[in-house]
Structure 1
Amino acid sequence: MNRLNLRHLHYFWMIARAGSIARAAESLALSPQTLSGQLATLEAELGSALFRRANRSLQLTEFGQTVFSYADDIFQTAQALDEIIQQPPEDRPLNLSVGVAASIHKLIAYHLTAPALTLSREVHLRCRTGETNQLLKALGQRELDVLLTDRQPDFKDTGQFRAHRLASSSISLFAAPKLASKLIPGFPNSLDRQPFLTTSLNAPYINELMNWFAAQRIQVKIVAEVDDSALIKVFGREGIGYFAAPTVIQDEVCRQYEVECIGSIGQVRETLYAITRARTGHNIAIQALLTERADLDDSIEKNDQ
């Protein structure tokens, strides 16, 4: 420990995570020259290079990879400890930052976050939508506390994150009453060449649904691709086409958007996950969100029957 300067090690860790000295220097509020000098001092202390330059960027050497893996454990643990130390007294609101994948239906997102809002202690909730990969990066950088997504990410570092299965629902199809009256008789063959509204976000359940259409020999006529699940439902309400949504929110979708359920497809399912950092501290709002998943899943299974 006498040879290891933790401040220099932290600077190295920040550079490795940022991918460049300039970006790390900006995060640390240091000049790139100062940060470069600190890195050189650490390499001299350790007796080996930690980075090599390749295509105008920094890449970890084999030794640098080893040092980074240990540094990552050290500073992830330190940040988790800092979260515990900085926790406010019980009479102050808890902060909960939730990332929501844009392909998740907003009504589903509400149901998944609701358990954290029913605690006796006040919770200050912040929600941020976006693509799963972008939100996962924000989670790793501690900008988010938890990520709700409809796909289980392929983690490069399995020690950094944890995936928690929250729920699974079959998929149903919906349309405005006039179009629904045409599609309900003869379902599913009635769907052939009829206007369909789909998400443009490559949601896993949409891929399964397209395979199901193909198996049923239904020719899909896509009239709109939309990257917002709520906007798709608005288009559906106006009779532009039929759309898909999880069966668990069937009643809410029909009531809120004045549409009718054409039919449910048990073979096509949407599975939802919560992604957390491996060390989440003791945020009871996160724990509530995770532990209430069984009740939500039971309600989904009941609605699917």
Structure 2
Amino acid sequence: MSHLNYRHLHYFWVVAKEGGLARAADRLGMAVQTVSAQVKSLEQALGHQLFKPSGRKLVLTEAGQAAFTRAEEIFQIGQRIPEEVHQAATAETLRLSVGLSDGISKLAAHALLEPVLEANSLKLVCHEGEVEHLLSELALHHLDLVLTCQPAPPNPNLRLTSSRIADSAVDWWGPANMVRPFHQNNFPACLNELPVLLPTRHAVLRASVERWFEQQGLRPRIVGEFEDSALMAVFASRGLGVFPLSRLGGGKADGGLMGQLSLLGHSEDLREEVYAIRSRRSQHHPLVQRVLASAGVGSTETTAEAE
């Protein structure tokens, strides 16, 4: 089938709404013959008759009704375009593009970005990916900020600055019926008796957790691995197992997803770090500065410039 001619579709749509060629031609300011020819061209392109006569009027065939339904959607949207373009052109939008590394806790990332969420006319764009790719996008100014579990590696070509903006203890959570029998006085030994969910192996936290298991003499039964901490929390809330979560991302079990989970225990010596990485240009972005200021990054904060 040939490509749809939207001019022909528009003429068909007007004829259908007006109920006849004469009224449609009057509305369009065109000759009846011209409008009729355009509709016939559309019928030929689609391979089906769209109108049939009914007295002095034209009514839609079954095929015509299907075409009209879609045309109505298309041209109603089209009628909104001028207003939306005007609003977009005149609004003072403050855009922040953030890269989140695969291994970072997404609940922790949300907590760190919370200071910018009330900014007027905010447009927040979040990308997830491998650290190397995100840092390349940052160096090309496609991103304003990257949040990751490790500082940027030294690279004189990227000219990036890293600051640690979080160093949080890790707690263990699980569904209430699974956590309740153990209480916190049997932690962490109870992890040997419970099904455990962990981040996948590319996450920095996973390696820290495994070292911590070894230090504690634990050999838990791992029943699930997840790249996304929020997804891990969802499966935990459905009874799959208990899981570790940065206190930054899950310390306030005051509603929402975390409100469906119970605290199993604290592991103060197990930590998750988060670094904010920015380019020389993006470090002046007002929302990047707000994130850093909220995390206490200032003149006393140790930063490492990879250049």
TM-score, reference length from structure 2: 0.61
Aligned pair 1:163/2:162, yes or no? yes
Aligned AA (1:262): L
* Residue segments in structure 1 that go unaligned for 5+ positions in a row: 1-88, 296-305
Per-residue CA deviations over 1:32-76 (Å, capped at 9, x if unaligned) read: xxxxxxxxxxxxxxxxxxxxxxxxxxxxxxxxxxxxxxxxxxxxx
Number of the residue aligned with 2:257: 256
Number of the residue aligned with 1:231: 231
Number of the residue aligned with 2:100: 100
Deviation (angstroms), 1:237? 0.8
Aligned pair 1:271/2:267, yes or no? no
Number of the residue aligned with 1:218: 218
Distance in 1, matches of 2:255 and 2:264, equals: 11
**RMSD in angstroms over aligned alpha carbons?**
2.5
Deviation (angstroms), 1:226? 1.4
Contact 1:100–1:149 at 8 Å: present in 2 too? yes
Deviation (angstroms), 1:264? 0.7
Segments of 4+ moved more than 3 angstroms = 252-255
TM-score, reference length from structure 1: 0.62
Deviation (angstroms), 1:262? 0.5
Aligned AA (2:210): M
Deviation (angstroms), 1:105? 2.4
Number of the residue aligned with 2:143: 144
Aligned AA (2:132): N
Deviation (angstroms), 1:123? 2.4
Contact 2:283–2:289 at 8 Å: present in 1 too? no
Deviation (angstroms), 1:91? 6.4
Number of the residue aligned with 2:127: 128
Aligned AA (1:94): L
Distance in 2, matches of 1:103 and 1:205, equals: 8
Number of the residue aligned with 1:244: 244
When Rg is computed on C-alpha atoms for both structures, the one with the higher figure is 2
Q: How many aligned residue pairs are there?
A: 207
Aligned pair 1:112/2:112, yes or no? yes
Contact 1:250–1:261 at 8 Å: present in 2 too? no
Deviation (angstroms), 1:253? 7.5
Indicate the percent of aligned positions where both proteins have the same amino acid: 28
Distance in 1, matches of 2:123 and 2:255, equals: 30
Per-residue CA deviations over 1:187-209 (Å, capped at 9, x if unaligned) read: 11111153111111522222122
Contact 1:101–1:135 at 8 Å: present in 2 too? yes
